[in-house]
Chains A and B, each alone.
Chain A
Amino acid sequence: MKKISFRPGFRSFILIIYVLITVSGLILLNSFSQAKQRQIRTILDEQNSIDRLREIKHLSAADSLLVNDAISAYNQSKSIVNVTLGEASMYSALILLGIIVGSSCLFIFLLSHISKPLRELKNATDQIRKGNFAVHLPETGIHEMKMLKNSFNMMSHELEAIQKKLLVAEKEMIWKDLSRILAHEIKNPLTPIQLAIQRIEERLTDEDSDLRSLLPQTIDIISQEIENLRLLAQDFSGFAKIAQPQQSIFNPADAIREICKSYMDNYHIRLEMRPDMNIRFDRTHFYQIITNIVQNAIDASAPDAPIDITLVKDKRFAVISIKDYGAGIEAEDMTRIFEPYFSKKSKGTGLGLALVKRLTEVNSSIVRAKSKIGEGSTFILIIEGSSE
């Protein structure tokens, strides 16, 4: 059951004080009345002088009867007074209990009537905080509550509209960024292709020039730039459609050695692997992640600088660290390095690390980065180990 915590507000305090004062007053009045009744009883109990009438001697029969009647009447009156006092005491106590119980029930009813709409408002505010602006409150209850709920509903309407505008603006901005990057990246390879074709054209018109000597170089340039365009398209395509992970169990140390084999000849990569653990991960995604991070490390490092790759076991997790000793990343850029299209390089789409983050997340793992200017950067992958 949900825990209900109650904090009385100003109105509740007033109600509580009013009830306390009323009940205290009634209890006080009752106590005073009870005390007076006790006094009356005491006085009555002390009144036994009527019995002395019986001591009167030499009364006539008629006078004796009168005395008898007087004594009987006195005793009957005293009985009735005692019984009536008892009745008064009992019923006043019963009425007082009834008033206390009744006023408490009324108080609880009123309080729930006040606190229920406030709870509704609190729940609706929580919904707004979580980003659900479609919440609306029924405009019921006392006048002030209706006004409050009406203001709330208007606010949520406006927030909903602003949210929709923001979403549209965000989409526009993304498309603008994408268009800008695409335009820049496509223009880069197109320029050398155009220049190469222009040179061929010039040679074609010049009867004396040797076209054959120019062709191999030109073909190389055009092929290289077409390859760059193809890689560009591949990058965008890879980021756009990330397939559902096909997870399998494998040894990450073996996979990392295999990936680094092609880099070992040209770069100084140092491996420190803990061999005796397996992970459950999509093998293709794993290869893409490690490749992207290693490539980034290579791009950031000087030609002979080492790149350290370590694999350790931390409780049930495999922790892979890839450290470079390059220039490092600025502190204000650290929050953006995993964003799509963010890049400080002169070349590239800025999708590499964004892809690393997406692939890590779809495989239920974590990627983190830390960096220090002048000392280099470390990328850390945390993957849950497999017991199999």
Chain B
Amino acid sequence: MAGIMSLSLFLFSSYTGNDPSMRTLSGSVSNNYLQLSTVFDYAFDNDFTEVFKSGKQIPLYYRVEVRSAGGIVFQKTYYNSVSYDNMKGSYKVYQSGIGQSFELGSHNAVIAAMSSLACSIPIERKWGTATVALEAWLPTVEFPQIKRKVDLMVLWKYRRPTTKGTFNLRLST
């Protein structure tokens, strides 16, 4: 479906939208935790200015899935979120993966913060070499002032960016 959409957009549409992709997943093991991180590219370049300034909390979800010996051994969904305070004119960004929030003044700083995905997941050494997959998506949000819902995946052309990495969990770094 994503391929057909891309083809039709390429042929018959002038809509720019966004073409999000994730860089290679990096990870390090310490104290029975696997620290994962990656960054979005081109995820929020177009049409997100007013969305982030809407005053509504806008989340970005990403699911982490760890596979070992052919089965799923760990799965959890994290989120980054942004909300705008009209009175202050500043943004509040929260990253659930590392449990931190930031107050930022510029749209570009918000994009940088929202594009950064980081989390720390508990592991068992017996999993050995595991494959970690990460998939991100945007939800449907309802704007309270105008009582309308909008599926934010439109801004990503309905494509969910993914990335993968393989890690030897027996080795500490």
Contact = CB atoms under 8 A, between A and B. Distances in A.
A79 B150 CA distance: 9
A35 B5 CA distance: 20
Contacts of B54: 72, 75-76, 79
Interface stretch (A80-88, A140-148, A301-309): A80-88
Nearest to A77: B146
A83 B12 contact: no
A interface: dominant SS: helix
Interface stretch (A89-97, A176-184, A222-230): A89-97
Contacts of B87: 64, 68
Nearest to A41: B47
A93 B6 CA distance: 10
B47 A83 contact: yes
Interface residues of A, number: 33
B73 interface: no
A68 B86 contact: yes
Contact of B15 (A27, A54, A90): A90
Nearest to A26: B12
B139 to A, nearest CB: 13
B155 A90 contact: no
A86 B5 CA distance: 13
B150 A97 contact: no
A78 interface: yes
Tell me which of A76, A85, A89 has the highest count of chain B C-beta atoms within 10 A of its own C-beta: A76
Given A83-B155, A94-B5, A78 B12 contact: no
B170 interface: no
Interface string A188-227: 0000000000000000000000000000000000000000
B14 A90 contact: no
Given A93-B12, A97-B4, A86 B155 contact: yes
Contacts of B14: 34-35, 37-38, 89
22 contacts: A34-B14, A34-B15, A64-B87, A71-B55, A72-B54, A75-B55, A75-B84, A76-B55, A76-B145, A77-B146, A78-B50, A79-B50, A79-B54, A79-B150, A80-B148, A83-B154, A86-B15, A86-B154, A89-B13, A90-B157, A96-B8, A97-B8
B7 interface: yes
